[in-house]
Amino acid sequence: MNFSRILVIASLGIFLIAVWFEAYVFYGKRKTAREELEVLREKVTALREDRERLDREAEYLSHPANLEKELRARFNYRDIGEKLMILVPAASSTSSSPPGS
């Protein structure tokens, strides 16, 4: 009778230790999952803001006048027969003169 009682108590002790260990591991995984979730939420927010910016830009460029304006500004686009003039600002008086002048 004594041996069976000791065996039951030992088995129960081992079982409780195993349950405690599993709870500890689960808590660690839960903490890691929450941190990953927060990082993913930040990425989702950034991607939504980026999508909204791109939607606004697409809406802006969907109008032919705006598209032409952007082409001219970014790529020096010009129509057939149209001449392109590039103005270079004059050197300021504060700039240093080249050596020997």
* Total number of domains constituting the chain: 1
Distance CA 43, CA 92 (A): 46
Give me the mean pLDDT over the 72-98 stretch: 76
Structural domain includes residue 40: yes
Residue 1: per-residue pLDDT: 61
Structural domain includes residue 85: no
What Rg, from alpha-carbon coordinates, does the chain have?
Answer: 36
Residue 65: per-residue pLDDT: 92
What is the domain extent for residue 13?
2-75
Structural domain includes residue 41: yes
| 23-78 pLDDT per residue, tens | 999 999 999 999 999 999 999 999 999 999 999 999 999 999 999 888 888 887 77
Structural domain includes residue 66: yes
Structural domain includes residue 19: yes
Q: Is the per-residue pLDDT at 96 higher than 70?
A: no
Tokens of 84: 């392109």
Structural domain includes residue 82: no
